[in-house]
Amino acid sequence: MITENMLLDFMRETAYKPMTYQELEEHFQISDASEFKAFLKLLNELEQSGKIVLTRTQRYGVPERMDLLRGRLQVHAKGFAFLIPEDREHPDVYVHANDLKSAMNGDTVLVRVNSKGPSDGRLEGEVVRIVTRAVTQVVGVFQHHETFGFVVPDDKRINRDIFIAQEKMGGAANGDKVVARIVSYPEGRAAATGEVAEILGHKDDPGVDILSIIRKHMLPEEFPEDVLEEAAAVPDTIEQEEIVRQGRRDLRDRVIVTIDGEDAKDLDDAVNVERLENGNYLLGVHIADVGYYVKENSRLDQEAYNRGCSVYLVDRVIPMLPHRLSNGICSLNPKVDRFTLSCDMEFDDQMRVVRHDIYTSVIRTKERMTYTNVRKILQEEDSEVTERYSDLVDTFKNMRDLALRLRNKRMRRGAVDFDFEESKVIVDESGKPVDIVKRERSIAEQIIEEFMLAANETVAEHFHWLKVPFIYRIHEDPDPEKLMNFMAFIANFGYAVRGKGNKVHPRALQSLLEDIDGTKEQTVISTMLLRSMKQAKYDAESTGHFGLAAEFYTHFTSPIRRYPDLVIHRVIREVIEAGGALPDDRQEYLASRMADIAQQSSERERIAVDAERDTEQLKKAEFMLDKVGEEFTGMISSVTSFGMFIELDNTVEGLIRLSAMTDDYYHFHEQHMALIGERTSRIFRIGDEVKIRVARVNMDDHTIDFELVDMKPRRRERGGDLEPGGGFGGRGGGKGGRGKKGAAGGFGAAGRGKGSGGAGGGKGKAVGKGKTRGDARGVFGSPDAWSPGAGEPPASGGSQGRHRGEAGDGVLAAAVDRGESAKPEAGAGGVRFGFGSGKGGYASGSPNGFTRGGDSRGYGKGGGGDNGKRRKKTSASGIFNAGGAGGAAVTGDPSGSGSKKRKKKKQGGGKAANGAGGSSRSGEGGSGRGGSAKNATAAFVRKKKK
């Protein structure tokens, strides 16, 4: 029988030339009719899945031998895309919007690499074939146009509206939020067509916003009937006969407790700590034995596989398992018998595990403790709470001592530990946000975090050496190119990371985090470090965890809400019952399944994290909706070329656009991450405290705009009159200048401005076109000043406080590890992350702010963009040195004499003289009446048009 691996291995051989099915039949010497039929079926399946390609001459071969690359598309809101190859070592491939054919974001495609970029040699290609569609339905707002309609997608990466014929509207009204099923995909200039599958309600109705996000990410809400019936058949109590029959170890006399958040209902872990006579600590971690109730290949198991994990939205939980299991028999509720898998670990003075034991057990927890009460006992020494739990106080003190010593050992080992602030949005019964509270990472959270990390490492190492099929949690070393960009970035702040070549030990990165603790630049450097790292994921092979500096790591502690944990629980119990080894047939079967389960779980985790981030961003924007016009004090959390982000005390983040900073023209100084006023020399840096006013809230994009309270109109020095002007990249030529038009190339977004000029002038205009490949959004934010969906940010770390343990794991995994206490993206539209996987030079992690080698070209009428032409010289601060018409304004040159290579203009001469003749510039301070620039910081002086 010819297997898939046999066929693919043969086609990958160097000597292989594409063959017809008859030639393949002859090569494999297939003579039996049934075997030939199975062989043809295998060929068709592999061809449909894109693993092999059928040429025009009806010959078969593998894509990589035909200059084709298989991978997943990541589409940008501006239309272009990147192929993230399945081959991890292959760099990303840029795909122009015209070369996408009908492919959409998330599709698995085959791409032909046909060229390299003209300047930097980065790969570009075109979509040859779409293997699988990721987008089959679209959530958006319905627009009715008499005989037809359109659905405007909520997901900005779907940049074409969906056409709906009149007979396919399904009764949708104008302004309704609907789910449209795609009937045909866009081809050329033709739009995608669809039909209304579900009407969620009017876009402004309560609850429709969260429901839209659920539908957008295609999250399953209700469980199928057969799954619920299977869950109902599970017993809700444990009989003594069953305990004896299974031979479980009885731990009901141990002092075991659960420690969770106040609102948690799925309690899947419990702990106990004892001090042994030899002075060692005995730590017991007991995890609900969910695998005992969810049998392999049952309907419950299939549904859990499809869901992958529980999803914790702002106002609800979408569980992986039905509530009868997750909140009932599988939840370690207090003072009732529960089946568990236990891991006992004995630690010596050096915190080495000198003995461990993994076994099936039955427990009965003494108390259902909360983080708040444990904190009150250990930190606040609250007399009332201490008295209530007096018999457990010594246990909690032992837990604290052990947890702190484990943490110290982990830090010495080199684990990287971010400390981002985490918040939780409180909503009322109708789903309206009423408050945003910051969550502290107290000693109670640290206890559970350290104990879960210890258990995960111990279990991973134990089963790695047993060589049984398993699922590990891995975090690969950072990409060398991204790491070098990060090192260059922190050098601007005077920091350095020790390492040899492109290799850096995580201990060196943790030392950096300790150095920047409490400084103004802590947030931006921590975030940039996070962006330079890869995402953690599940894998069938153990390759280590860089962020935790752990050689072996898995997820063992949350089988109620994570499918990989459930899978390895079944493997663990099977190995225990089989006496330490699996039969060969089971070994082979499980080995064939693990890679698929790991990939599916990683993908579902990304979707869950995106949905959680979207709902949090939505509710934070809604929370600020009734605060428009109110003033707050905030801190500058990041500075970009299009403005600066301000974080308020409640972790809400908003953008002050450069165009709203009207008292001066500000230039972005990337080396110092600052905005510098060209006339006033006013400086805004990361960490500065500012007073802001909420200007507007965009509920379509879930973004918030702020404005500075003390901002005055921009001054144009024309006899002292004040005139507001456009922002950076949005200012145009002013009126004046004897009917001539002035123009300035923009810095990204198109902008037009007009002044109240002199005697005769034309309207000046500036059009800026930003062409950036990758995520052209500077260090933070988006290219269009904060457009959501432009790129794919890794998920926010905190997930409503329900995710347990593995804090370091989660944050270091670019925040897609569930269970972190830290938070890389705080608030609505906060820090934005890279587009593309970061390989191939298209990463947005480069500190210059433009992802494709800083390629951002401005195109203006009469000036602006370089586009391969001669560029104006700039000073180190980014302010133009070269002079223009009517006397050059040179930074640091009070005389205004201009470039040394150019003859000095006569004072007061020529059409370019300001004042009576009028300047063709808009809002450029510092030009005197005679045409000589008196202000040393004047800039952007234009050449006089000949």
Q: Where are the domains of the chain?
A: 4-63, 67-132, 137-205, 225-417
| Among the ranges given (230-244, 335-349, 505-519, 824-838), the one the predictor scored with the smallest mean pLDDT | 824-838
Residues 11, 65: Cα–Cα separation, whole Å: 9
What token pair was written down for 696?
């507007």
Residue 511: phi, psi to the nearest 5? Answer: -60, -40
Helix (H) or strand (E) holding 520: none
Three-state SS string over 233-302 comes to CCCCCCCHHHHHHHCCEECCCCCCEEEECCCCCCCCEEEEEEECCCCCEEEEEEEECHHHHCCCCCHHHH
Give the residue, 799 or 31, on which the prediction is more confident: 31
Scan for tokens 């791409």, then name that residue.
111
List, for residues 478-535, the tens digit of each pLDDT value: 888 888 888 888 887 888 888 765 678 888 888 898 888 888 778 778 888 888 888 8
Residues 636, 84: Cα–Cα separation, whole Å: 33
Residues 430, 432: Cα–Cα separation, whole Å: 6
If you ran DSSP here, which 8-state letter would residue 670 be given?
A: T
Scan for tokens 């925040």, then name that residue.
815
Helix (H) or strand (E) holding 115: strand 108-116
137-205 shares the fold of 4-63 = no
| Closest C-alpha among 649, 637, 653, 650 to residue 688 | 637
The whole-number pLDDT of residue 398 equals 94
List, for residues 696-710, the tens digit of each pLDDT value: 999 888 999 999 998
Orientation angle between helical segments 522-532 and 506-515, nearest 10 degrees: 160
What token pair was written down for 83?
């192929």
The whole-number pLDDT of residue 6 equals 81
- DSSP of 371-432: HHHHHIIIII--HHHHHHTGGGHHHHHHHHHHHHHHHHHHHHHT-------EEEEEE-TTS-
Cα–Cα distance list, 510 to 246, 407, 419, 690, 808 (Å): 46, 13, 11, 30, 11
Q: Which residues contact 604 (CB under 8 A, 6 or more apart)?
A: 307, 308, 309, 563
Residues 410, 356: Cα–Cα separation, whole Å: 19
The whole-number pLDDT of residue 502 equals 64
What token pair was written down for 97?
């919007």
Helix (H) or strand (E) holding 588: helix 584-623
| 67-132 to CATH, choices 2.40.50.140, 2.60.40.10, 1.10.3720.10, 3.40.50.300 | 2.40.50.140
Residues 159, 298: Cα–Cα separation, whole Å: 40
CATH assignment of 4-63?
Answer: 1.10.10.10
**Domain 137-205 annotated CATH 3.90.1150.10:** no
Give the total residue count for the chain.
946
What token pair was written down for 716?
């144009």
Work out the average pLDDT over 901-923: 39
The whole-number pLDDT of residue 904 equals 41
What token pair was written down for 221?
């809400």
Residue 106: phi, psi to the nearest 5? Answer: 90, -10
Residue 437: phi, psi to the nearest 5? Answer: -115, 140
What token pair was written down for 852?
């494709």
In contact, 124 and 115? CB cutoff 8 Å: yes
Query: Does 857 have pLDDT greater than 80?
Result: no
- Name the pLDDT band for 716 (thresholds 50, 70, 90): low
The whole-number pLDDT of residue 617 equals 92
The whole-number pLDDT of residue 504 equals 84
Residues 230, 840: Cα–Cα separation, whole Å: 48
If you ran DSSP here, which 8-state letter would residue 763 be given?
A: P
Q: What is the largest CA-CA distance in the chain?
A: 106
In contact, 522 and 516? CB cutoff 8 Å: yes
Q: Spell 643-654 as b/e; 16+ CB within 10 A means b.
A: bbbbbbebbbbb
Residues 685, 705: Cα–Cα separation, whole Å: 19
Query: Does 652 have pLDDT greater than 80?
Result: yes
In contact, 535 and 439? CB cutoff 8 Å: no
Residues 897, 47: Cα–Cα separation, whole Å: 70
The whole-number pLDDT of residue 467 equals 92
List, for residues 240-270, the tens digit of each pLDDT value: 888 888 889 999 999 999 999 888 888 999 9
Average pLDDT over the chain, rounded to an integer: 77
| Closest C-alpha among 43, 1, 39, 35 to residue 18 | 43
Orientation angle between helical segments 443-466 and 563-577, nearest 10 degrees: 50
| Closest C-alpha among 793, 809, 765, 311 to residue 544 | 809
The whole-number pLDDT of residue 715 equals 54
If you ran DSSP here, which 8-state letter would residue 805 be given?
A: S
| Closest C-alpha among 608, 478, 602 to residue 530 | 478
For 922: left if phi > 0, alpha if psi spans -120 to 50, otherwise beta; the answer is beta
List, for residues 739-786, the tens digit of each pLDDT value: 333 333 333 333 333 333 333 333 343 334 333 333 333 333 333 333
Work out the average pLDDT over 445-474: 95
Residues 76, 87: Cα–Cα separation, whole Å: 21
Query: How much of the chain, in percent, has pLDDT values that exceed 90?
Result: 41
- Which of 30-34, 199-203, 519-523, 811-815 shows the highest mean pLDDT? 199-203
Residues 410, 403: Cα–Cα separation, whole Å: 10
Helix (H) or strand (E) holding 346: strand 337-347
In contact, 471 and 593? CB cutoff 8 Å: no
Residues 415, 833: Cα–Cα separation, whole Å: 23
Residues 313, 729: Cα–Cα separation, whole Å: 38
CA 778, 779, 783, 784 torsion-angle sign: negative
The whole-number pLDDT of residue 301 equals 96
Query: Does 734 have pLDDT greater than 50?
Result: no
Query: Does 889 have pLDDT greater than 60?
Result: no
In contact, 870 and 943? CB cutoff 8 Å: no
Three-state SS string over 298-341 comes to CHHHHHHHHHCECEECCCCEECCCCHHHHHHHCCCCCCCEEEEE
The whole-number pLDDT of residue 53 equals 81
Q: How far is CA 630 from the centre of its chain?
A: 30
- Name the pLDDT band for 34 (thresholds 50, 70, 90): confident
- Name the pLDDT band for 714 (thresholds 50, 70, 90): low
In contact, 455 and 345? CB cutoff 8 Å: yes
